[in-house]
Amino acid sequence: MADNARAKRLADLIREVVAQKLLRGIKDPRLGSHVTITDTRVTGDLREATVFYTVYGGDEERAAAAAGLESAKGVLRSAVGAAAGVKFTPTLTFVADALPDTAKTIDDLLDKARQSDEKVREVSAGAKYAGEADPYRKPGAEDETDGDTAE
């Protein structure tokens, strides 16, 4: 079992090698400059690596990039093996990163909250207190309801 520091170093190396190879070594038009490698994770035994990526574009570009990465998996694994110099080159699994979708969902929720806050602000603009502006009694102030009526 490898230590976590070694797995982290190998993951960083895999991320760099795959990104460079996609940028300069792969001639597949589906994998142009619109594919970004965001993260890489390696298992503790250094046998499997998960490469997270994002694609700039719509659903068609994402599907094309996934197919392109799957077809280039062997070339990318060979490049990783040549650069890493480990006994066993990890198998590569490509997973579309959910970060952009999550960020869009959070942005949408924040927009809804802003709109709701604006509606509350508009409704409360002309609102007045239900009773007096200061409902608390002050020490030393006389209350007209507590006056002497038994005199």
Q: How would you write the pLDDT of the chain (151 residues) with one tens digit per residue?
A: 557 888 899 999 999 999 898 888 788 778 777 888 899 999 988 899 999 998 888 888 888 888 988 988 889 999 999 998 888 999 999 998 887 778 889 999 999 999 999 998 888 887 777 777 777 878 876 655 555 555 4
Q: Give the global pTM.
A: 0.68
Residue range(s) defining the domain that contains residue 63: 1-98
φ, ψ at 84 (rounded to 5°): -80, -40
99-104 long-range contacts, CB within 8 A, separation 24+ = 99/38, 99/54, 100/54
∠ CA 72-78-1, nearest 5°, is: 115
Residue 69 belongs to some domain of the structure = yes
Tally the domains of the chain. 1
Residue 146 belongs to some domain of the structure = no
CATH number of the domain at 78, please. 3.30.300.20
Residue 28 belongs to some domain of the structure = yes
Residue 149 belongs to some domain of the structure = no
Residue 38 belongs to some domain of the structure = yes
